[in-house]
Homo-oligomer: A and B are copies of this chain.
Amino acid sequence: MRKVDPEKFEARKQQILAAAITCFTRKGFHGTSTAEICAEAGMSPGNLFHYYPTKQAIIAAIVEQDRRETAAYFAQIDQSRDLFDEILKFMDIVLELAADPAYSSLALEISAEAMRDKEIAALVSAYDAEMQASLSVMLRDAASRGQIDATLDPVETARWVAALIDGIFGRIAVDPGFHPLEQQANLHLLLTRFLRPGAKGAGKAAREQTVKA
């Protein structure tokens, strides 16, 4: 067997992923053949096989990459800041990603694929559980510092924050009138009222408050 330079190997894998994402965004998973991915990446089909044995393996790698990026995002959060603000900031990023047609169509393709493929479903669930756990820790810490309502159960509340994330992508799929970047104030209002009822910004005059946030 030929010796493989791990750095070159990794770079080539990244290049294939980028090419695959371009193809998937253009034509969906089912509409894209591995031959097209090879053409986009400028390599031969026989060569692709060394990096990813199947199209499913490429999809799995995309989920894994997104999971790593989300984990890295949670890891870099400045714990000295108001964690409620940090949750709002995270949700703003979700809105930005949802507003990116390439990201959102890929995310929706992955959800649909998870319905058909048990391995992809397991990866997506593991990613979701990890994200929910990170949110849950943030909510617990925020509650213990008085930054959000301490009577909320952090685990169950994280579930509903995750449900809102699902809902944002769900809206993208079915509702052409849902423009994520125009929904920031509404989402902040909902989260402020839910997570810190009675706080400044949670009342009836919250609209202007949240628009500038």
- Say whether B28 contacts A116, CB under 8 Å: yes
Partner of A108, one of B109, B115, B183: B115
Q: Per-position contact with B for A35-62: 1 when CB-CB < 8 Å, else 0?
A: 0000000000000000000000000000
CB contacts (< 8 Å) of A151 on chain B: these are 204-207
- Which residues of A come within 8 Å of B, CB atoms? 28, 30, 108-109, 111-112, 114-116, 121, 124-125, 128-129, 132, 149, 151, 153, 156-157, 159-160, 162-171, 173-178, 183, 186-187, 189-190, 193-194, 197-198, 202-207
Contacts A151-B206, A162-B171, A197-B197 supplied; 18 other A-B pairs, CB < 8 Å = A28-B116, A30-B116, A111-B112, A111-B173, A112-B112, A114-B174, A124-B174, A151-B204, A160-B186, A160-B190, A162-B175, A163-B171, A166-B170, A166-B173, A193-B193, A194-B194, A197-B202, A198-B203
Given contacts A167-B163, A168-B163, contact A175 B112 (CB under 8 A): no
Give the oligomeric copy count: 2
The 7 closest A-B pairs by CB, nearest first: A166-B170, A163-B167, A167-B167, A112-B112, A166-B167, A112-B115, A128-B174
User: Nearest residue in B to A163 (C-beta to C-beta)?
Assistant: B167
30 contacts between A and B (CB under 8 A): A111-B111, A111-B112, A112-B112, A112-B115, A115-B173, A121-B174, A125-B175, A128-B174, A128-B175, A151-B204, A159-B177, A159-B186, A160-B186, A160-B187, A160-B190, A162-B167, A162-B171, A162-B175, A163-B167, A163-B171, A163-B178, A164-B164, A165-B170, A166-B173, A166-B174, A167-B167, A170-B170, A193-B193, A194-B194, A198-B204
